[in-house]
Amino acid sequence: MATLMRFVFMAVITCSTLLACNAFFVNSPLSSPNQLETVAPATVASTVTKESEPERLPDAPYLQTPMAAVQKMLQMANVKETDVVCDLGSGDGRIAIAAAQMFGAKAIGIEIDPELIRESDRELKLAIAKTPTIRDRIKFIQQDFFKADLRDVTVVTLYLLPEANLRVRNEILSKLKAGTKVISYEYDLGDLPPSQMEKIKIGDREQTIYLWVLS
């Protein structure tokens, strides 16, 4: 009889335990797949970096135009106060500064190299200290001169390489107004006959300056 009672007691405990476990899982919020917490996948921001267009290289290595040649170029172009002189590839700004300082013209220097633009600004400050009246007659622009607006220019100065001079002939001359003077140190414009040529001795070398008057 005692054995039978122990068996009944163990059976009751086992059933109670099973019922309690079942109730826990039924009532738990994790018991149903439909009640599982939905965790959204992490959103990864899309960062697409567009490569910036590389800066175009200058059309000629930087070589300073000798000051004797600068003065001769401006004299050959017969620069006056009423002229707007534009130096394409203006380097340290010496031609533009000389056009304003020596001849009273308005002058623009167009240069693609930012370091040379900074050098031009330094040279301009020194020139203004000597000749304050040129302060509003000169400006320097960091730009590809093939994209520049040259409609108001009356004198264009060049000290470039032959290949760049040919591009100037093909891409720029047609945009200039009649009567504009183009003057180049050392290199011509291909087979376009110059209106005037003059030789100048620089050190122990003789160089040529070419002048074209556009019709």
What's the full length of the chain, in residues? Answer: 215
Tell me the average pLDDT across 141-169. Answer: 97
Burial class (CB in 10 A: 0-12, 13-18, 19+), 141: middle
Output the six-digit token pair for 16. 């109670």
> pLDDT confidence of 56, banded at 50, 70, 90?
low
> pLDDT confidence of 37, banded at 50, 70, 90?
very low
More confident site: 30 or 212:
212
With a pLDDT cut of 90, the percent of the chain lying above it is: 70
pLDDT for residue 1 is more than 80:
no
**DSSP structure string for 66-107:** PHHHHHHHHHHTT--TT-EEEEES-TTSHHHHHHHHHH--EE
Lowest-confidence region among 11-25, 44-58, 109-123:
44-58
Asked if 200 and 209 count as a contact pair (C-beta separation under 8 A), the reply is yes
CB atoms within 10 A of CB 114: 10
* Chain mean position to CA 36: 56
pLDDT for residue 22 is more than 70:
no
Q: Which pLDDT belongs to residue 62?
A: 76
pLDDT for residue 19 is more than 60:
no
**Domains, the chain, with CATH or none:** 67-213 (3.40.50.150)
